[in-house]
Structure 1
Amino acid sequence: MYLYKTIKKFSSAEEVVNKSRFIGYSKPVKTIEEATEFIEEIKKKHKDATHNVPVYLLGEKMDVQKYSDDGEPSGTAGVPILSMLKNEKITNVVVVVTRYFGGIKLGTGGLVRSYTNIAKKSLENAGIIEVDEFIRIAIEIEYTLHGKLLNYINNEDSVIIENTIYTDKVKMILLISKNEYEKVNNTIIDLTNSDVSFGKKEIINASIRKNEVITNY
């Protein structure tokens, strides 16, 4: 299970629907100020566009939001993008979809599909990631215990090594899933026969995929 989903980086996508050009932009953000700044940046970049539809959704509980149809018929642009974000549980994100009208009306259904699809493509291009709570903790062990502990960690999905420092002992910075912390902690104690020193715990939000650690969430 995860706390929420967000995106990894800024990205965009583009497509033409019945001569109308749609460009979707997505960016991970944490604050209203960041989201607003990005929206203004895109509006300035495409000041000649027919519409620049902005949407943002913030917070682990997705409780901070703003959207606009920017002149499109009510409920055909910003609303469906926001609904898509909520349905996909994607938050801490800002999306702007730019439209250059091509002379052919798309109708209510066509607008909803076009805005939703290009927004979703830009999110997918940005890389949708799951964010969960982890406990970051440093442990210190003797070199003789390193191999045994490394073998356990490499076969345990709920823990990953963020960094290893070799001095007179081996210091490992671990990220452990908060829900599995007690189990992992007890296993480490058992494997080392209590010959292990634990540092201070820190709870962080992070995404871990294929041993890639992304923090600052």
Structure 2
Amino acid sequence: MDYNDTYQTIAFESEEILLKEKGSKFFGYAFPIENEEEVKPIIETLKKQHPHAVHFCYAYQLGTAPNISYRANDDGEPSNTAGAPIYGQIQSFGVTNVLIVVVRIFGGVKLGVGGLITAYRTTAQMTLESCEIIEKTIDVHFLISFDYKNMNKVMRVIKEKKLDIVSQEMEMDQDSGLPIGKIETKTRKKNAEIIFDIFDLMFEIDIKTL
């Protein structure tokens, strides 16, 4: 299997994980995410769930090499004692498109830098261990545009090459008044160049990568 063609992520949101350390409670959660806009609403939901918690520390990673984006947030804990150890576990498990949040309810005893790092790292590890980790393909999306008369030709290739249809629509061309088809398809990365070339060489059919 092409190494650059797949990635690992979690199948579902995790169950709540609880670690107790010297009176403090650390609640761990894992979420599959597709973009960073999903992070804030998840944190807001957890804040309603844990009104007495002070720290909502998290880390996430999105994308695959070379286009990886990530963030680690200590949320008021000493620098690099929370977000970094959480992110370290995301790297250790080799997953992406994932958000790990560890919510801390302070128990009155300070844990020190080493204690905090261990607690956040362990909670993140336990949370990921509870998840089902799955492999997904890296997909490339195309938009195929064509005159309605070429619909069958396009659909035949889509069927033969087992392409996934993401969306399809018909609209009227403003110049000719004739219907124009637009189909968004996706295929795994290793097949993308071949698929692009097939459509690119077809008469009266336009393809572009999204």
Same fold (TM over 0.5): yes
Match of 1:115 among 120, 125, 132: 120
Displacement, 1:204?
4.2
Other-structure match for 1:33:
37
Q: Which runs of 4+ in 1 moved over 3 A?
A: none
Match of 2:10 among 7, 12, 27: 7
Displacement, 1:131?
2.8
Measure, in 2, the Cα distance between the counterparts of 1:63 and 1:47: 33
Other-structure match for 1:130:
135
**C-alpha distance after superposition, 1:153-201 (max 9, x if no partner):** xxxxxxxxxxxxxxxxxxxxxxxxxxxxxxxxxxxxxxxxxxxxx7223
**C-alpha distance after superposition, 1:128-161 (max 9, x if no partner):** 2233459xxxxxxxxxxxxxxxxxxxxxxxxxxx
Residues 139-154 of structure 1 mapped to structure 2, 5 A cutoff: none
Other-structure match for 2:153:
none
Measure, in 2, the Cα distance between the counterparts of 1:94 and 1:19: 26
One-letter code aligned to 2:58: P
Residues 64-75 of structure 1 mapped to structure 2, 5 A cutoff: 64-75=69-80
Please state whether the residue corresponding to 1:48 is helix, strand or coil.
coil
Aligned residues: CA RMSD: 2.3
- Structure 1, unaligned stretches of length 5 or more? 135-197, 206-217
Match of 1:201 among 162, 168, 182: 162
Displacement, 1:79?
1.1
Residues 152-167 of structure 1 mapped to structure 2, 5 A cutoff: none
Match of 2:105 among 78, 100, 103: 100
Other-structure match for 1:142:
none
Displacement, 1:126?
2.1
Matched, 1:82 2:87: yes
Match of 1:54 among 55, 58, 65: 58
- Structure 2, unaligned stretches of length 5 or more? 140-158, 164-186, 190-210
One-letter code aligned to 1:200: K
One-letter code aligned to 1:100: I
Measure, in 1, the Cα distance between the counterparts of 2:95 and 2:13: 14
Measure, in 2, the Cα distance between the counterparts of 1:65 and 1:42: 20
Please state whether the residue corresponding to 2:101 is helix, strand or coil.
strand
* TM-score, with length taken from structure 2: 0.61
Percentage of identical aligned residues: 41
Measure, in 1, the Cα distance between the counterparts of 2:20 and 2:98: 24
